[in-house]
Amino acid sequence: MKNFQIDEHTLLRFAAAEDVPLILDLVRELAEYEHLLDQVRATAEDFRKYIFEEKKAEVIIVEYDKQPAGFALFFYNFSTFLGRPGLYLEDLFVKPPFRGKGLGKLLLTFIAHLAAERNCGRLEWACLNWNEPSIAFYKSQGARPLSEWTTYRVTGPELEALAGKFPS
């Protein structure tokens, strides 16, 4: 995949399999920032398998002065109303020492560019309600919260129990 040298300091690139340890470190840093580190179960093998072998998601790495500064992970979803695919931004994270340099905006606009280039009908993501700096940032980029929708999730034992109700 192509690398994008944005300026003399900033490089944007698609992650490669050799980036798996870096991706896992960045995910852990994000989880720590979100006070969710105890919930991280992902392993390097998970990322290797699902991102690079099965291609279930894509990762963009942003570097600043040749140092890893942040990442974004996204994947396709589908809108039945639009009849087109969309991109779902699972995570966008910039390490604290690199904030204020426009790197979050660069990641977000690049993924929006990819969505448009790939003929996607929308770009969506979720943000924790307490994360006011991120909410302000997303709104400043033209995003609007979908307050009429509530996200639901089943994981772990609840997912197993729900799956077990399927008649086999």
Q: What are the residue numbers of the active site?
A: 138
The Cα 126–Cα 18 span in angstroms is 28
The Cα 36–Cα 139 span in angstroms is 24
Cα-trace Rg, the chain: 17
DSSP for residue 33: H
**Dihedral of CA 96/100/61/11: which sign?**
negative
CA distances to 32, 75, 92, 98, 138 from 24, in Å: 12, 17, 13, 18, 24
DSSP annotation string for 81-93 = TTTEEEEEEEEEE
| Residue 97 tokens, joined | 């020492």
Task: Return the ∠ at Cα 56 (arms to 62 and 13), rounded to 5°.
Answer: 20
